[in-house]
Amino acid sequence: MDTQTLIYLFVGATFALYIGIAIWSRAGSTSEYYVASKGVHPIANGMATGADWMSAASFISMAGIISFTGYDGSVYLMGWTGGYVLLAMCLAPYLRKFGKFTVPEFVGERYYSQTARVVAVICVIFISFTYVAGQMRGVGIVFSRYLEVDINTGVVIGMAIVFFYAVLGGMKGITYTQVAQYCVMIFAYMVPAIYISMLITGNPIPQLGFGSEVIGTGQSVLERLNGLGAELGFGAYTDGSKSTIDVFFITMALMVGTAGLPHVIVRFFTTPTVRDARKSAGYALLFIAILYTTAPAVAAFARTNLLTSVPNTAYQEVPAWLNTWENAGLIAWQDKNNDGIIQYGPGAPFVGAPKFTDERGANGERLLSNEPTDAATELYVDRDIMVLANPEIAQLPGWVVALIAAGGLAAALSTAAGLLLVISTSVSHDLLKSNMAPNISEKNELLAARIAAGVAIAIAGLFGIYPPAFVAQVVAFAFGLAAASFFPVIVMGIFSKKMNKEGAIAGMVVGLTFTFSYIVYYKFINPAATADDWWFGISPEGIGTLGMIFNFIAAILVASVTKAPPEKIQHLIEDIRIPRGAGAAVDH
């Protein structure tokens, strides 16, 4: 059976599984749609949380960024992993004990203000749409290669699949779909990693292979990469180019952004008890660690394979995988010196992303309309494909290639569904039910949630078709927005009896406005800006940390000159924080 047939078989089987689960677990009430009736087992919730959190950025793009940037890519590993520990240990149990449906509902109840709740909904929408853009782009990338369609067509297909099981099943359907998607995702990630680790180092454990010697060289993987980089004129793989302050701010933004992500937080509202919320957090951390400890090895192996298989090769002799990815629009070559040989060295091959024409060059390559640069590199490789292309570059069997396709789709679709559910519940429950139409029936509220999900999917698809950056970078912006808006409000809502509604609203508005404006300015209005132009040398990916600091400052200052929270709210905070019998959560 050829590889393409296997891909259709694997992807089709997983889609049938997801849709079957959605039909089986169709939500029939708002409780099932919003929080799966708060009846999800900790292990299942741990798997679902892992799938929800390990998005296309984790599966597809993180190792790709690390493979291209080396040391600088470590910020994603440190920030995302550390953030989950912070969320699981310090916030999740308290939020579950509060016993509500959504994060904006927590904000509205804790800060005794519908205005605060509406501001929180706006924050949810900003964060979720920014985040989901990366997921839909990831879906498009996978479909474009493996189903041999245009990226934009791939995004539309992904929208249709997510629409079916997110709108039909709600949180109940998404939870059990995400359990299946986690199993598909982790198996798809680990199998090629083990294969390639054995091929390169002889060690079947990728985490150990990462520190082992490359067969036949007498050098470790990192030494080999540094040597290959030096031969081609690159800096050492283990050297970083980012300033210390930028590394710190990006890591912190990703860390506290993780702890403020509404689609992850809401997962802890689905367990029966506070004790189960803690257990599910522990299981999720274990399930997540399997992929995250493997990612650096996958990145290094992919980089090694790329640098040893392509440079200084005649284009007409390149392996078939390069032509396939070129046809998908994710690899491009410009023969700058007209010698028919692929040269690979420092610098970008041309200005901007590849812009393909319908014409072919003398060697059969797809011609581009981009202006070439004076860089030594002639080959453009989209970093988001490194994990997906790795099995083909390493010449693994066709069924492994098919498996990685199914895993990449599982990663992107699982998070996209979780984000779209958060958007729809925020609109139907926090805006419609709580503000505009308080007397709406449960049936109509559920209908409104599904309509909101459909609209959100359409908008998300547009973001996927017109993405602002690489998948992991887009997701990093979402984490920055979450860090600057939700994290301070949630932390102070749990641990400070003095924080009032005026302070919370001011903090969210200041943090979100500053961070969003900074990202828009430096990524879209003035994208040519360098580190010398940024505030204190902080990149847009890390500015959420400064936005968080501004949020805290604004909230504390405003709270200090306004009226303290009512006494009942202060008692409520004490009740959340005191773990009286970590049993059933109390719905206040």
Is position 322 within any domain?
Answer: no
Residue 459 pLDDT: 80
Segments forming the whole domain that contains residue 263? 3-303+396-577
Q: In terms of domains, do 553 and 407 share one?
A: yes
Q: In terms of domains, do 110 and 167 share one?
A: yes
Q: In terms of domains, do 279 and 356 share one?
A: no
Residue 582 pLDDT: 45
Looking up residue 11, the CATH number of its domain turns out to be 1.20.1730.10
Q: In terms of domains, do 476 and 351 share one?
A: no
Question: What is the distance in angstroms between the CA of the first residue and the CA of the last residue of the chain?
Answer: 58
> What is the rounded average pLDDT of the residues 64-69?
82
Kindly state the helix (H) or strand (E) to which residue 222 belongs, with its residue range.
Answer: helix 221-231
- Give 21's pLDDT tier (boundaries 50, 70, 90): confident
- Give 393's pLDDT tier (boundaries 50, 70, 90): confident
- Give 548's pLDDT tier (boundaries 50, 70, 90): very high
- pLDDT higher than 80, residue 116: yes
pLDDT digits (tens, 9 = 90+) for 297-330: 888 888 888 888 888 888 888 888 888 888 877 8
Residues 6+ apart with CB under 8 A from 51: 178, 179, 181, 182, 185, 410, 411, 414, 415
Q: In terms of domains, do 475 and 417 share one?
A: yes
Nearest alpha-carbon partner for 201 in 186, 185, 190, 217:
217
Query: How far apart are alpha carbons 247 and 261 in whole angstroms?
Result: 21
- pLDDT higher than 70, residue 25: no
Q: Which of 340, 355, 381 is the last residue of a domain?
A: 381
Is position 184 within any domain?
Answer: yes
Residue 101 pLDDT: 60
- pLDDT higher than 80, residue 266: no
Is position 25 within any domain?
Answer: yes
Alpha helix locations (H) across 430-542?
A: 442-465, 471-495, 501-520
When divided into structural domains, the chain yields a total of 2
Residue 246 in tokens: 């930028």
Q: In terms of domains, do 337 and 435 share one?
A: no
Q: Three-state SS for 300? A: helix
Query: How far apart are alpha carbons 228 and 345 in whole angstroms?
Result: 11
- pLDDT higher than 60, residue 28: no
- Give 34's pLDDT tier (boundaries 50, 70, 90): low
pLDDT digits (tens, 9 = 90+) for 189-210: 898 899 889 989 989 999 888 8
DSSP state of 348: -
- pLDDT higher than 90, residue 555: yes
- Burial code of 33-54, b = ≥16 C-beta within 10 A, e = fewer? bbbbbbebbbebbbbbbbbbbb
Q: 276 near 585, Cβ under 8 Å?
A: no
DSSP state of 357: E
Residue 476 pLDDT: 66
Q: In terms of domains, do 215 and 273 share one?
A: yes
Residue 468 pLDDT: 58
Nearest alpha-carbon partner for 387 in 405, 374, 399:
405
Query: How far apart are alpha carbons 546 and 540 in whole angstroms?
Result: 10
Q: In terms of domains, do 81 and 105 share one?
A: yes
DSSP state of 358: E
Residue 583 pLDDT: 46
Is position 318 within any domain?
Answer: no
Q: In terms of domains, do 424 and 521 share one?
A: yes
Do you know the residue count of the chain?
588
pLDDT digits (tens, 9 = 90+) for 207-217: 888 888 888 88
Q: Which of 320, 349, 381 is the last residue of a domain?
A: 381
Is position 584 within any domain?
Answer: no
Query: How far apart are alpha carbons 323 and 363 in whole angstroms?
Result: 12
Residue 588 pLDDT: 46
Q: 422 near 128, Cβ under 8 Å?
A: yes
Residue 552 pLDDT: 94
Residue 234 in tokens: 């690159």
- pLDDT higher than 80, residue 531: no
Is position 316 within any domain?
Answer: no
- Give 581's pLDDT tier (boundaries 50, 70, 90): very low
- pLDDT higher than 80, residue 127: no
Is position 312 within any domain?
Answer: no
Query: Rounded to 5 degrees, what are φ and ψ at 367?
Result: -80, 155
Q: 108 near 429, Cβ under 8 Å?
A: no
Least confident of 184-198, 346-360, 435-449: 435-449
Residue 509 in tokens: 């508005």
Q: In terms of domains, do 285 and 214 share one?
A: yes
- CA-based angle 451:277:102, to the nearest 5? 30
Residue 556 pLDDT: 94
Look up the pTM and report it. Answer: 0.77
- Give 470's pLDDT tier (boundaries 50, 70, 90): low
Is position 224 within any domain?
Answer: yes
Q: 505 near 119, Cβ under 8 Å?
A: yes
Q: In terms of domains, do 263 and 374 share one?
A: no
Q: In terms of domains, do 87 and 229 share one?
A: yes
